Amino acid sequence: MPSGNDLIDAAGDELDRSDLKTGGANVAVSQRALNNSLRDLFNRYVFSWRVVDPPLTVDLTAGTTLYDLSTISGGKKVQDLYVVYLDTQDLQSRPLEEWPLWRFRREFANLKYLPKTKPTTFTRVDQYKIEIALPPESSTYDLKVYYSEEFADITNFATTLAQGPQRIWEVITVMMLARLKRWEYTAQSPESSQVVIGAYALAEKMIQDLIKEDKANPNISYIMQGARFGGMPLSLNYWASPFIKSVNG
């Protein structure tokens, strides 16, 4: 994997601008372009390779439905949720079905009056909080939350970048070049504007190709249908993996 400085130097070489490379007078511009490019890419799509493993464990309290992941995660900022898995310490453990907030509020408007049982559904209340339904019947249950972390700016550019697989770094470099071209052409002549537009168009195409590749061959599945069964799993090994591809029932 490259370091931040590797990508900065590669971009500077491509532009033939030593001032944009490590130690150069304008290296801060390249550092900002790298951070902005990474943030842009990670906000575009729920990439399968960004999942944090092991998952976050959320201890449930009987009758409590609202949980703040930002306090449970030790200060780490949760960005995307992939799978929220109910662990009942037995074979009835299973992933919860995610509902949009409006549907959750409509279906469970009387949530505090509903009987305690095994939760089947969750929703995101805001960026860091989730709510589950129905209320859990036992404090021995917990949730296993597979998530991605919100991107934090790189400050040590000499360290190896671990934010993604090897195949994303060419995309990030092109995204950096587009931003640096925009900074470089301050005159905004018609000719320079076309260069900037072309650089952004190439970067956008590479981003969409990366998304298309991840959709076609994801490391895991993000959207899971709700299970329909009468108290027992459909088979002994049915819920063995939180990364099952689908639920047919």
pLDDT tens digit string along 102-159?
999 999 999 989 999 999 999 999 888 999 999 999 999 999 999 988 888 999 999 9
Reading the block at residue 129, the tokens are 């909080």
Tell which residue, 113, 55, 48, 109, has the closest CA to residue 86: 55
Q: Which of 149, 174, 189 is the last residue of a domain?
A: 149
Position 147, amino acid:
Y
Q: Is residue 226 part of a domain?
A: no
Whether 245 maps to a domain, the answer reads no
* Residue 158 sits in the same domain as residue 39: yes
Structure confidence by residue, pLDDT tens digits, 46-80:
898 888 888 899 999 999 999 998 877 666 678 88
| Residues whose CB falls within 8 Å of the CB of residue 62, separated by 6 or more in sequence, listed in order | 116, 135, 136, 137, 138, 139
Q: Residue 38 and residue 44: Cα distance in Å, rounded? A: 10
- Determine, yes or no, domain membership for 239: no
How high is the pLDDT of residue 215?
87
Name the pTM for this structure.
Answer: 0.77
Rounded distance between C-alpha atoms, residue 220 and residue 160, angstroms: 25
Residues 62 and 78 reside in one and the same domain: yes
Residues 29 and 59 in one domain: no
Give the tens place of pLDDT for each residue, 155-182: 999 998 877 888 889 889 999 998 998 8
In a domain, 131, yes or no: yes
Same domain flag for 21 and 141: no
- What's residue 189's pLDDT? 57
- The whole-number average pLDDT for the span 84-107 is 93
Residue 245: its H or E element: none
- Domain finish residue from 149, 167, 189: 149
Ordered strands of the 78-87 beta sheet:
56-59, 142-149, 78-87, 94-95
Same domain, 19 and 138: no
Please state, in angstroms and rounded to a whole number, the distance separating the CA atoms of residues 108 and 133. Answer: 8
Clarify whether residues 67 and 139 are in a common domain: yes
Q: What pLDDT score does 240 carry? A: 42
Whether 83 is in a domain gets the answer yes
**Contact between 200 and 178 (Cβ < 8 Å):** yes
Give the per-residue pLDDT at 223: 42
Q: How many structural domains is the chain composed of?
A: 2
**Do 210 and 127 fall into the same domain?**
no
Give 195's pLDDT tier (boundaries 50, 70, 90): confident
Whether 140 is covered by a domain: the verdict is yes
Residue 36's alpha-carbon distances to 26, 43, 80, 160, 180, in angstroms, are: 16, 11, 18, 18, 11
Q: Provide the strand spans (E) within the chain.
A: 56-59, 66-68, 78-87, 94-95, 97-98, 121-124, 129-133, 142-149
Name the burial class of residue 47, with classes exposed (0-12), middle (13-18) and buried (19+) by CB atoms within 10 angstroms of its CB: buried
171 lies in some domain: yes
pLDDT in tens, 28-51: 999 999 999 999 999 999 898 888
Distances 183 to 33, 85, 130, 151, 196 between C-alpha atoms, Å? 10, 45, 40, 23, 9
Can you give the residue range of the structural domain that contains 93?
51-149
Same-domain pairing of 41 and 62:
no
Same domain for 59 and 116, yes or no, is yes
Name the domain boundary from 149, 166, 182: 149
Which one is predicted more confidently, 244 or 67? Answer: 67
Separation of alpha carbons 187 and 189, rounded Å:
6
pLDDT in tens, 204-243: 998 999 899 888 877 654 443 333 333 333 333 333 444 4
Asked if 55 and 145 sit in the same domain, the reply is yes
In a domain, 246, yes or no: no
- The DSSP bridge pattern shows strands 97-98 and 121-124 to be parallel
Asked whether residue 100 falls in the same domain as residue 168, the answer is: no
Assess whether 123 and 71 both reside in one domain.
yes
